[in-house]
Amino acid sequence: MAGDEHERFAAAIAASYPFAGIPTFLRAPYVRELEGLEAEVAVLGVPTDEGSPFLPGSRLGPRRIREHSLRFGDRGYYDGRDDREYLRLELEEERIVDLGDVDVRPTNAEGTWDHTTAAVRGILAAGAVPVILGGDHAITAPVVRAYDRPIHVVHFDAHIDYSPFRHGFMYTNTHPMRHVRAMPHVASLAQLGIRSLRNGMQDVHDSLADGNRVVGMEEYRDVRGPALVERLVPPDAPVYVSIDIDVLDMSLVPGCVSAEPDGLTYPELRETLIALAEHADVVGFDLVEVNPLLDVGTGVTSYLAAHTIVEFLGHICAQPRWLARRAERREAAIRSGKAATSRAQLARERAEAGRGRRPAGVGEATPGAEDAEDVR
Ligand SMILES: [Mn+2]
């Protein structure tokens, strides 16, 4: 194909609207190969709900969250509160990639866990930060065990998720934090938003006896934000964050099997996530327990999950420590002769190679770009 013919073709099949195209998270490139990965963020789905003793369906969470992420488009987002754009450069320069999903092993929880741990280890070895889409909450245990250095874990949930291991019953979404606490590299565990009347007294007492910090709604609302985060983790410490969507109030999450009353409002969750991004070094996070089978027609629960991930990720990537690390990586790449290419260069190269990706470069006029901005 000649140059302009190719460009017309690429523009003709570009997906501008959220209902079109193949849904990767924020339309990040779908990558299957970790070798030579330059990306800083790797999205990975763990589509299993075999740890759900009540209603199944959260295995469909990763797919639906990706679909709703497309409503933010592929150019990041603008926040009028501080009059700035988030994630734009990260997407333009393909610093975020989507690795697709872990290969789950139906009826073989240990097999699924092994694949999950192996996938996350690969992401960490490639120097990227994993962003994990659940799945039910059981998946947090095989994700956290993939880290090979000391980390702190901050857990948002209505439930304590600290059931004892009995008769081989240990792979459910009521167990992950007991696994996490037992891992030698987990320096501390803080559990926030814990409030369900179905939490067992013994489970809560066990968590406290193991030295975990359990923050109920009263303390959460009294302290909140930066002051709360300072109580939980040391400044600049590596922190893994696990977000059960049921930490939010029941009224916000119809598509969640374990929704509970008296939960966080979105601003209450948001301010603590942003405080964590600023105060600590977030080295990975997951969002779990979205169940599209139970959701209302608009998919608000999946939308809210995508919204939470996008906003948290936006603030993580905006931190000075993150920008400094990026500069270091770039310099190292230049020194080793493997300098990262800009998206504009990549697009041109791809267009020349005839591989059909939309040739939308930084600051370049693209046919249909005005329409593409309006993706909500
Ligand atoms: Mn949970």
Q: What is the pLDDT of residues 217-270, one digit of tens each?
A: 999 999 989 999 999 999 999 999 999 999 999 999 999 999 999 999 999 999
Where are the extended beta strands (E) located within 39-182?
A: 41-46, 77-79, 84-86, 96-101, 129-134, 151-156
Helices 266-279 and 300-317, packing angle to 10 deg: 20
For residue range 181-196, list pLDDT tens digits in order: 999 999 999 999 999 9
CA 141 to ligand 1 centroid distance, Å: 11
Tokens for 54?
């009540």
Q: How far apart are CA 171 and CA 112, in angstroms?
A: 11
pLDDT of residue 335: 81
Instruction: Please state the pTM of the whole predicted model.
Output: 0.89
Whether residues 350 and 262 fall in one domain: no
| DSSP string across 160-172 | ---PPPBTTB--S
Q: Does the residue 102 lie in any domain?
A: yes
Whether residues 217 and 362 fall in one domain: no
Whether residues 194 and 273 fall in one domain: yes
Question: How many domains does the chain divide into?
Answer: 2
CA 72 to ligand 1 centroid distance, Å: 27
H/E segment holding residue 373: helix 369-373
Whether residues 185 and 241 fall in one domain: yes
Q: Which residues contact 185 (CB under 8 A, 6 or more apart)?
A: 147, 148, 149, 150, 151
Confidence of residue 38 (pLDDT cuts 50, 70, 90): confident
H/E segment holding residue 317: helix 300-317
**CATH code (residue 305):** 3.40.800.10
H/E segment holding residue 213: strand 213-215
Residue 357 pLDDT greater than 70, yes or no: no
Residue-range definition of the domain harbouring residue 351: 321-366
Tokens for 292?
């599209």
| Block residue for tokens 């301010």 | 271
Question: What does the mean pLDDT of the chain come to?
Answer: 90
Distances in Å between the Cα of 85 and the Cα atoms of 40, 201, 315, 368, 375 are 18, 45, 10, 21, 16
Tokens for 51?
């740890």
For residue range 297-308, list pLDDT tens digits in order: 999 999 999 999
Whether residues 339 and 308 fall in one domain: no
Q: How far apart are CA 131 and CA 71, in angstroms?
A: 18
Residue 318 pLDDT greater than 60, yes or no: yes
Whether residues 265 and 331 fall in one domain: no
Tokens for 250?
């029941």
Q: Does the residue 90 lie in any domain?
A: yes
Count the alpha carbons within 13 Å of 170 in the hemisphere toward its beta carbon.
13
Q: How far apart are CA 77 and CA 131, in angstroms?
A: 18
Pairing verdict, β 77-79 and 84-86: antiparallel
CA 19 to ligand 1 centroid distance, Å: 30
Whether residues 292 and 358 fall in one domain: no
Nearest to 98 by CA among 22, 155, 36: 22
CA 60 to ligand 1 centroid distance, Å: 17
3-state secondary structure at position 187: strand
Whether residues 82 and 223 fall in one domain: yes
Tokens for 168?
């081989």
Q: How far apart are CA 131 and CA 139, in angstroms?
A: 13
Which residues surround the ion ligand 1 when the cut-off is CB under 5 Å? 137, 157, 159, 161, 244
CA 248 to ligand 1 centroid distance, Å: 12
Whether residues 248 and 341 fall in one domain: no
Residue 112 pLDDT greater than 60, yes or no: yes
Residue 117 pLDDT greater than 90, yes or no: yes
Q: Does the residue 372 lie in any domain?
A: no
